[in-house]
């Protein structure tokens, strides 16, 4: 099975359609699939729902898709640092489903494991619990959360081999593994593709069975919050 493609556009060919649900890896601007997000923007796919920790910033990450009005709904745990997101949400142009951060990660992981739902105490007694099934276990109340089953997963890793085994770099190993797991198809972008067999099996963070398509590219690695002091 060929997994390595020449460009982000090639890797997404035949996978995009209006109204789709996309799970995107990354935390803030760390480990986000920036090349694939740019290719989705260029493809013009619209009315999409994104399950992602965040919505990027105004001109980077998912923020570039908000600028072009290609996102209909966000399933997120943090939406700061993005003025366009705030404007669209407050004006009613963008739908938002808030999730506690751990719940969002577990919803993705559950989807990747074929688990349709699970119970958690997180959110009980808050607006997060409204409209959700409640159940008591051992005298404690829990709410049911649904697993996320995405049409497409897009993630960024540090290294890969040609079979799709992925290694993430430090903090970029955040939402990327669970996001990759929960898509019907997973496309990964990496900084380096190494020969098959050269990765130590103990260092592989995500097995290639989850990855269907793969590209290598050059990344900006933007810093979200830059703090400096005078020399």
Domain that holds residue 193: 8-115+148-216
In a domain, 41, yes or no: yes
Would you say 55 and 24 are in contact if contact means Cβ atoms under 8 Å apart? no
Report the predicted TM-score, pTM, of the whole model to 2 decimal places.
Answer: 0.93
Asked if residue 124 belongs to a domain, the reply is: no
Alpha-carbon gap, residue 17 to 143, rounded angstroms: 33
Q: Is residue 134 part of a domain?
A: no
> Could you say which DSSP state residue 206 is in?
B
CATH code (residue 209) = 3.40.1080.10
Q: Is residue 30 part of a domain?
A: yes
Instruction: Specify if 136 maps to a domain.
Output: no
Evaluate whether residue 140 is within a structural domain.
Answer: no
95 Cβ contact list (under 8 Å, min separation 6): 72, 73, 74
* pLDDT single digits (tens) 160-209: 999 999 999 998 899 999 999 999 999 999 999 999 999 999 999 999 99
Is 46 domain-assigned? yes
Q: What is the number of structural domains in the chain?
A: 1
pLDDT in tens, 134-158: 999 999 999 999 999 999 999 999 9
User: Residue 166 is encoded by which pair of tokens?
Assistant: 């992925």
């Amino acid at each position: 099975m060929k997994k390595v493609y020449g460009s982000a556009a090639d890797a997404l060919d035949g996978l995009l359609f209006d109204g789709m649900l996309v799970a995107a890896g990354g935390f803030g601007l760390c480990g986000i699939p920036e090349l694939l997000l740019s290719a989705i923007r260029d493809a013009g796919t619209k009315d999409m729902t994104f399950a992602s920790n965040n919505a990027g910033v105004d001109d980077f990450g998912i923020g570039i898709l908000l600028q072009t009005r290609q996102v209909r709904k966000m399933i997120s745990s943090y939406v700061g640092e993005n003025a366009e997101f705030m404007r669209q949400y407050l004006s009613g142009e963008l739908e938002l489903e808030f999730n506690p951060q751990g719940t969002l990660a577990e919803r993705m992981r559950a989807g990747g494991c074929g688990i349709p739902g699970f119970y958690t105490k997180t959110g009980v007694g808050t607006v997060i619990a409204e409209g959700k099934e409640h159940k008591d276990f051992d005298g404690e109340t829990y709410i049911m959360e649904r697993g996320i089953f995405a049409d497409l997963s897009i993630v960024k890793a540090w290294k890969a081999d040609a079979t799709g085994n992925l290694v993430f770099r430090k903090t970029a190993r955040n939402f990327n593994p669970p996001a990759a797991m929960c898509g019907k198809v997973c496309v990964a972008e990496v900084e380096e593709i190494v020969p098959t067999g050269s990765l130590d099996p103990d260092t592989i963070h995500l097995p290639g069975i989850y990855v269907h398509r793969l590209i290598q590219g050059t990344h900006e690695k933007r810093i979200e919050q830059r703090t400096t002091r005078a020399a």
